[in-house]
């Protein structure tokens, strides 16, 4: 059964700083990787996806995937207080399969 683990559990970042979130997964057949963000009182919202090895940049957010190392990461550049949220890594190995989520990393950005 797929295991998705995230680290660190929580992260405190100064405004303007860089936040780095890590995620490892256990199933080598995993194909689809998502980062979801959940603000307090809201449901999770997709932040970005990555399906190929390497880096993918969307604005201040960069995802990195290394399938051979069973590793995916998210980096938030120039962090803003509005980035304070719970970040989930979500993985699927099947085109139509439900996502397997990690426990999340809580990011707090202080001014």
Partner 1 sequence: GPKVLQIPSHQIIDMGQMVTLNCDPVSNHLYFYWYKQILGQQMEFLVNFYNGKVMEKSKLFKDQFSVERPDGSYFTLKIQPTALEDSAVYFCASSLARAANTEVFFGKGTRLTVV
Residue 43 beta carbon to partner 1: minimum distance, rounded to whole angstroms: 4
> With contact defined as beta carbons under 8 Å apart, do 37 and 14 qualify?
no
Q: What is the DSSP string of 3-58?
A: -EEEE-SEEEEETT--EEEEEEES-TT--EEEEEEE-TTS--EEEEEE-SSEEEEE
Residue 54 beta carbon to partner 1: minimum distance, rounded to whole angstroms: 16
Nearer to partner 1, 26 or 97 (CB): 97
Question: 67's torsion region: left (phi>0), alpha (psi -120 to 50) or beta?
Answer: alpha
Nearer to partner 1, 32 or 61 (CB): 32
Q: Name residue, tokens 């938030």.
A: 76
Residue 92 beta carbon to partner 1: minimum distance, rounded to whole angstroms: 4
> With contact defined as beta carbons under 8 Å apart, do 44 and 36 qualify?
yes
Nearer to partner 1, 82 or 111 (CB): 82
Nearer to partner 1, 39 or 57 (CB): 39
Residue 93 beta carbon to partner 1: minimum distance, rounded to whole angstroms: 8
**What does the binding site for partner 1 look like in residue numbers (CB under 8 A)?**
4, 31-32, 36, 41-46, 49, 51, 88, 92, 94-103
């Amino acid at each position: 059964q797929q295991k998705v683990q995230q680290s660190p559990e929580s992260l405190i970042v100064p405004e303007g700083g860089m936040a780095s979130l890590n995620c490892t997964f256990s199933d080598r057949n995993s194909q689809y990787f998502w980062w979801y963000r959940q603000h307090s009182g809201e449901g999770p919202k997709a932040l970005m996806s990555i399906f190929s090895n390497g880096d993918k940049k969307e604005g201040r957010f960069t995802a990195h995937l290394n399938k051979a190392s069973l590793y995916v990461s998210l980096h938030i550049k120039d962090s803003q207080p509005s980035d304070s949220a719970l970040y989930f890594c979500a993985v699927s190995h099947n085109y139509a399969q439900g996502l397997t989520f990690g426990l999340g990393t809580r990011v707090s950005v202080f001014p």
